[in-house]
Amino acid sequence: MRIATWNINGMRARLPFITQWLAERKPDLVGLQELKMVDERFPHDEFEAAGYRALTHGQKSWNGVAILGRLDSAGPKMELLQEGLPGQEALGARLLSAKVEELAFTTVYCPNGKTLEHEDYGRKLAWFDSLSDHFKTHHAPDEAHVLCGDFNVCPTPLDGWNGEAKQGTIFHTEAERERIAALIEWGFGDLYRQLYPDTQAFSWWDYRGGSFHRGHGLRIDFILGTACVGRQLKATTIDRDYRKKRDGMTASDHAPVCADLETH
């Protein structure tokens, strides 16, 4: 089974780009973030034509998450588990969970926080605390669960192109890293780091200043899995090719992140 996460930075701007990626990479299960679209506008027909069923939790102009499942595998068997993070509705449509056979699959678009001085920074930390509480209350670490998405945190200095210099700034604070550590302590593992513990690689690059070509990026998009998911891991990759322009289409500022799991 191939699973993936991708912050698409706007469904309207990216639909042909996404369907091309689906045709080429053929993932079975995908978490999408930053739809910037209400549920009623979601292009279900186009995704069904591409071979995918979608569950959505959208919002006008901002945020929004979706789960795609292949119609010949995961798609018809997706069961909605959770829409939105309880108690955090004021921060928008940022969480969606589904059950796909024996696998629970959650995609999240975590708050950005803006700056340390902005009130959204405290809201970001509170949102992460609610996320951890949600897993402690409603899930168990011995179940097969994938948590994926845009976390807007660099867990270590290795995850930013100038991570040592950025220590203590937004995305690089100890408080933010403690929130990621709490998810790991609960029972999740970072699937990319499981295979590449010392590799510096990025999933997001600013559109400005030639950041992509200069290698000035951040690794803020993760696929986390519980222990039984980690034991099934065969491969994981950050799909840099789909951060590049293709056929006149502009890419998102995030690259897809993929993981291949051994299924029995």
What's the confidence (pLDDT) of residue 72?
79
List the one residue out of 77, 168, 172, 185 whose CA is nearest residue 132.
Answer: 185
Would you say 95 and 82 are in contact if contact means Cβ atoms under 8 Å apart? Answer: yes
What's the confidence (pLDDT) of residue 73?
57
Residues of the chain with pLDDT under 50: 75
Give 241-251 pLDDT, tens digit per residue.
999 999 989 99
What's the confidence (pLDDT) of residue 264?
67
Domains, the chain: 2-261 (3.60.10.10)
Task: State both tokens at 2.
Answer: 């191939």
Backbone φ and ψ of 4, nearest 5°: -155, 160
Question: In this structure, is the dihedral angle defined by the CA atoms of residues 91, 93, 94 and 100, taken in order, positive or negative?
Answer: positive
What's the confidence (pLDDT) of residue 20?
97
What's the confidence (pLDDT) of residue 263?
84
Partners of 160 in beta bridges: 218
List alpha helices for 216-264, DSSP H: 227-230
**Contacts for 214 with CB less than 8 Å, ≥ 6 apart:** none
Phi-psi domain of 260 (left: phi exceeds 0; alpha: psi -120 through 50; beta: other): beta
What's the confidence (pLDDT) of residue 77?
81
Phi-psi domain of 263 (left: phi exceeds 0; alpha: psi -120 through 50; beta: other): beta
List the one residue out of 99, 103, 110, 104 whose CA is nearest residue 154.
Answer: 110
- pTM as predicted: 0.97
What's the confidence (pLDDT) of residue 76?
52
3-state secondary structure 4-17: EEEECCCHHHHHHH
What's the confidence (pLDDT) of residue 145?
98
DSSP-derived 3-state class of residue 34: coil
Q: Residue 136, Cα to own-chain centre: how many angstroms?
A: 20
Q: Counting beta carbons within 10 angstroms of the beta carbon of residue 72, is it exposed (0 to 12), middle (13 to 18) or buried (19 or more)?
A: exposed
**Contacts for 56 with CB less than 8 Å, ≥ 6 apart:** 35, 39, 42, 64, 65, 66, 96
